[in-house]
Amino acid sequence: MRPLTGSGPLLFVALLATLPGALQAQPSGSTRWTLTVPGSAVNTPVTGVGNSIETLRGPANTVLTRMEFFERNDRPCQVRATFAGWEFDAQNRAHQVSETVRTFDGCNGNGGSRQTIQIDAPDGVWALRACLRRQNDRLKGLQVKAARIRRNGVQFRGVSNGVTSWERSNCNQWSGFVECTGGRVARGLRIARETNPVVITGLALECADPGSAAQQTAGTGVVGIGARGPLTGTVPNPGAGSSGPTTYGWTSPSWTSVSGETASNSGIIDRPSPYAIKGIMVAESGDRPHLIHVTLETLCNGVCPDGPSGAANWLNSDPENDVMGLGGFGQSLDLSLDDDHYITAIQVCTSGQNNRDRRRIKGLRIWGARLGNQGQLVGSSEMHEKRRTNCSDWYPRLECPAGKVAVGLRGYFDGRRDDPFFTGLAMRCGRVG
């Protein structure tokens, strides 16, 4: 592969000249590029020590983006690896369309304390090095280099801005970096371990050459890697010729199941037609998510009027503390869609306490659909995500039925606690028409 010329610490690699099916022309507005990762791969040596290898690998056309390492009684014995698939639009912006988790478990499901590597999107892992307790011993630290994946190349980063790491207090001896070469990134994680009992002693990467392939969306939503396809439903056209955007109402509301954990109490945000939800915020204080807020918009095509605001758009898990708004609250998960886009699917991540009653909302994903000029819903595979550093377990994605959008939200919490917090979410979905 021929490197591009340039200066500074960033190195750009020309991928498209050598990739079958990849395009070099700029796209039209109806074209998306999907990340492609070939089946052929090159393995790095092991950083650390070990010859007995177990490989974690995601589905086709995904790359390694997150690693979680668990140990019990000073014994590293479990790894959870996350693999993501991406699309790129005409502006070279990345949109995640799939996520798959693979687990190596030598702890019999009881991994104990955890350390996490989470790299920025849309990065892929291209190099790592292990720290051991002592020579030829067990994994006690890890340092990772990230490469930014683009439609037309891979941007490698220097140590200063492309490395993330963790180390335990008995990390004493760093091994050298092992690297994916030739513009490759990791599509698999190779785990070196001892047996009887299982102890992780080193790591290696399975490297492949990422590219991109074009596809036409034709205005009906993108069907990409792992995407669920367009979420469509039709409603009558109320007529043309009126001034301003055409507005719609909703009927036939129904509730989804819960993403996250259920609890003894719940609160409901439920506003009338013609309003639907375009944004959700979860705010927390002292590691406890106490407040939920929704942003409403009138169902329409175009620049749509805002929906009602005020106290009815909030949930408070601890009503004895009369705190509305963000005063006194530190971190928040705040996600919102564009005009005439409405939420159709959500997914919750919680903290990872073994006692499920202690789990709390620490991450949120939303998907949406645009209301077209004939009142039809045009779905998108684009995912919007916010997560806190202690986001651990993603629960099932909840989807409104075809032709419906989110018009209400239920937040679950345990009101028996002195300091209750939100544990899960459900949507109320209404049919547009």
What total number of domains does the chain contain? Answer: 2
For residue 221, being part of any structural domain is answered with: no
Which three-class secondary structure state does DSSP give residue 329? Answer: coil
Residue 276 sits in the same domain as residue 337: yes
296 versus 418: which is more confidently predicted? 296
- The whole-angstrom separation of Cα 374 and Cα 396 is 32
- The whole-angstrom separation of Cα 344 and Cα 279 is 11
For residue 222, being part of any structural domain is answered with: no
Residue finishing a domain among 213, 239, 258: 213
Strands 94-105 vs 384-387: parallel, antiparallel or unpaired? unpaired
CATH number at residue 58: 2.100.10.30
For residue 254, being part of any structural domain is answered with: yes
Residue 323 sits in the same domain as residue 266: yes
Predicted local confidence at residue 153, as pLDDT: 61
Residue 323 sits in the same domain as residue 386: yes
Residue finishing a domain among 178, 213, 248: 213
- CA 186: distance to chain centroid? 18
Look at the block and give the residue holding tokens 């390694």.
64
- The whole-angstrom separation of Cα 420 and Cα 71 is 30
Which residue type, as a one-letter code, is found at position 6?
G
Residue 206 sits in the same domain as residue 291: no
Residue 73 sits in the same domain as residue 194: yes
Q: Is the pLDDT reported for residue 405 higher than 90?
A: yes
Q: Are 231 and 368 in contact (CB under 8 A)?
A: no
Q: Domain containing 72: what range?
A: 11-213
Residue 200 sits in the same domain as residue 233: no
DSSP of 153-166: EEEE--HHHHEEEE
- Burial level of 116, CB count in 10 A (0-12/13-18/19+)? middle
Residue 233 sits in the same domain as residue 207: no
pTM of the model: 0.48
Q: Is the pLDDT reported for residue 44 higher than 90?
A: yes
Tell me the pLDDT tens digit for each residue of 89-139.
Answer: 777 777 777 778 888 988 877 777 888 887 776 788 999 999 999 888 999
